[in-house]
Every structure is written in structure tokens, then in C-alpha cells.
Amino acid sequence: MGLFAFAKNIGKKLFGKNDDPAEKIKAHIEEDNPGMDGLQVVYEEGKVVLSGNAQSAEAMEKAILMAGNVDGVEQVDISAINAPAAVVEVEYYTIQKGDSLSKIAKNFYGNAMDYPKLFEANREVIKDPDLIYPGQVIRIPKENMTA
């Protein structure tokens, strides 16, 4: 695990022409601090490099998604993050046209009514469970998946 790919021209608009993208992305992650200490962000031509100490693997995963789901970001490098091993295995899923959290929950968990599990696992990335968009990447914790 080191480099994650995202759709470059899709996502939350955080910075404009005269903004420092690294500063804006760092502030965005720290606003909903998923558990990152000493977070540093470098941005160069669509690539974000995150460094620091994650309190958990989940915190690191959320920081990846918060940085990657930003318009203008196509790669997130986390090789400089120190994080404990994951307790729960996760799968990453890219939202497709026509998806809803309930449809995704039905696909992965076998029950559409399990969509709150997806919302909670991605609360820092998804602010409203009814507002997801194609190209957005989310975490799917495997502990709740059907066989």
C-alpha cells in the first residue's frame, strides 16, 4: 500500500488558481480530523503526498479518501504515513452513475438497509448519505460483508 488513484477532475472543489492546494487539503483533513498527528501535505501536479502518524489504520484510510476525493487530485501517496495494522479489512469502491448507499450496501452486505454502516465508515468523506457522486471513492469495511 502506498499509492492510490482517483479521478482527477471529480470531487470537492477546495482550491482555486491562487490558493496553495497543499494548505487547503491539509485544512480539509484536519477539519474533520480522522486521527492524524503531525499531518504534512505536499501537492504537485495532481499528486498528494501525505505524511504523519495515524492513530489507526482507519484514520489513515479516511485521510487518503479525504485527500483523494478533491477536484484536482489524481494520486495520493501514503508511503510516509506511520500507521498501525488494520483491524478490519476494507475494500475501496468507486461510486458509479445510478449508485446509492443502499444499492452499494445491498451489493456488499446483502441488505440495502445496512447503508448507515457505509455512511458511518465514510462520514468524513460523505456529509449527506443522499449526496454521493460518480467517481467518489469510499471505504467498504469487510467485517459486515456477506460471504
Q: Which domain holds residue 60?
A: 3-82
| Alpha-carbon dihedral 11, 81, 61, 74, rounded to 10 degrees | 30
Q: Are residues 61 and 117 in the same domain?
A: no
pTM: 0.89
Report pLDDT for 87.
86
CA distance 49 to 26: 11
CA distance 28 to 66: 8
Q: Are residues 76 and 116 in the same domain?
A: no
Amino acid at 60: M
Q: Are residues 78 and 108 in the same domain?
A: no
Per-residue pLDDT of the chain (147 residues; tens, 9 = 90+): 589 999 998 999 999 989 999 999 999 999 998 899 999 999 999 999 999 999 999 999 999 999 999 999 999 999 999 999 988 899 999 999 999 999 999 999 999 999 999 999 999 999 999 999 999 999 999 875 654
Q: Residue 137 sits in a domain of what CATH number?
A: 3.10.350.10
Q: Which three cell numbers stand for residue 25?
A: 487539503
Phi and psi (nearest 5°) for 30?
-70, -25
For Cα atoms 16, 42, 25, give the angle at the middle one, nearest 5 degrees. Answer: 45
Q: Are residues 101 and 51 in the same domain?
A: no
